[in-house]
Amino acid sequence: MSNQEFQVLPGPSSVLFARSIAKQLNCEMVDMEFKEFTDGENYFRLISEVVGKRVLVIQSLYPPVDHHLMQLIFISKKLSEEGAFVYAICPYLGYSRQHKEYLTGEVMSLKTLGQLLAFSGVKHMITLDIHNVEGLGLIKFPAFSPSAIPTLAEYVKNCEDVSNSIIVSPDLGSSARAEAFAELVGRPYLIFEKERDRFTGELKMKFTSSNLSGSKAYIVDDMISTGGTIVKAAKVLSSLGVKEMTAVCVHAIMVADAANRIKAAGVSSIIASNTIPTEFSKVDVSKVIADHIKLLG
């Protein structure tokens, strides 16, 4: 199959991202009417003919996550009923952190999300930098998570002065991303050990290093949600003499006044991708997904 046989349907949460992918793949856009009623309910009406087509539904699942998820389910179900082969393209995949039963009785929400998508007719899924790759195993159809870290690293290397800088992973879970980022920008890296109380959510940081006085730190993570991890790391880095700090992430969720909290901790700027549209979305990573789709043939 050629890329010409793909069609792109822009979900309400990712219209610009979808247009970028359609342009890179040189494929048509599916026409679907959408409106949201005053009570929050969604209305969709499929206009294009999609029987036998491979349709890429571009819909990022950022807050309000449930709202965007229901939109994806409605769209996918209708496309499937009309004879399309549905691909869910979720630049950011909500619920990806709930992939384990950490405490007895917890719901593995990511597993249920995968079941809902399967029910709605999704046959293939692509996301970027899923929080933990183990989560892909909960989805019972082909699901992939290429990384946008190389694209972010290229942006920083070309647009920032990285001399006298250190790349920092705020926890062990992000160490592989930070190491890859550091290698691409040609700078050393350091790793925090983060401990989170499963009941209270309290974060504690452990970090051992020589004096970093006068250096600049790039704190690299897959996502920034409330900003708590970045704030904790920034405070330790400041105590070690770091003079300037920048937070770099793929997914800038930015809830609970995260931006102001991060700024108050001494972080001067935030660089994020456009998986979630925010004022910090400086790096277009749609090419990462488009390139992966091209590999599908």
pLDDT in tens, 183-225: 999 999 998 876 666 666 655 555 555 567 788 999 999 999 9
Predicted local confidence at residue 1, as pLDDT: 42
The length of the chain in residues reads 297
- Quick one: 230 and 219 in the same domain? yes
pLDDT in tens, 268-294: 999 999 999 999 999 999 999 999 999
**Is 174 domain-assigned?**
yes
pTM of the model: 0.91
| Domain total in the chain | 2
My answer on whether 57 and 41 are in the same domain is: yes
Q: Note whether 37 and 121 are same-domain residues.
A: yes
Residues 13, 142, single domain; the answer is yes
Whether 100 is catalytic: no
The answer as to whether 279 is a domain residue is no
Determine the structural domain holding residue 94 and report its residue range.
3-147+284-295
pLDDT of residue 222: 96
Say which CATH number the domain at 40 has.
Answer: 3.40.50.2020
Residues 142 and 74 in one domain: yes
Instruction: Answer yes or no: is pLDDT of 135 > 60.
Output: yes
When the pLDDT of each residue in the chain is averaged and rounded to a whole number, the result is 92
The helix (H) or strand (E) run that includes residue 21 is helix 15-25
Based on the fold, state whether residues 22 and 50 are members of the same structural domain: yes
Residues 99 and 185 in one domain: no
Residue with tokens 């456009």: 274
User: 53, 78, 111, 194: which one is catalytic?
Assistant: 194
Residues 168 and 138 in one domain: no
The per-residue DSSP string of 1-17 comes to: --GGGEEEEE-TT-HHH
217 and 268 assigned to the same domain: yes
**Statement to judge: residues 205 and 99 lie in one domain:** no
Q: Are residues 192 and 249 in the same domain?
A: yes
- pLDDT, one tens digit per residue, over 63-113 is 999 999 999 999 999 999 999 999 999 999 999 999 988 899 999 999 999
For residue 93, being part of any structural domain is answered with yes
Concatenate the DSSP letters of all residues of 153-220 into one string: HHHHHHHS--TTEEEEESSGGGHHHHHHHHHHHT--EEE-EEEE-TTT--EEEE---S--TT-EEEEE
Same domain, 156 and 111: no
Percentage of the chain beyond pLDDT 70 is: 92
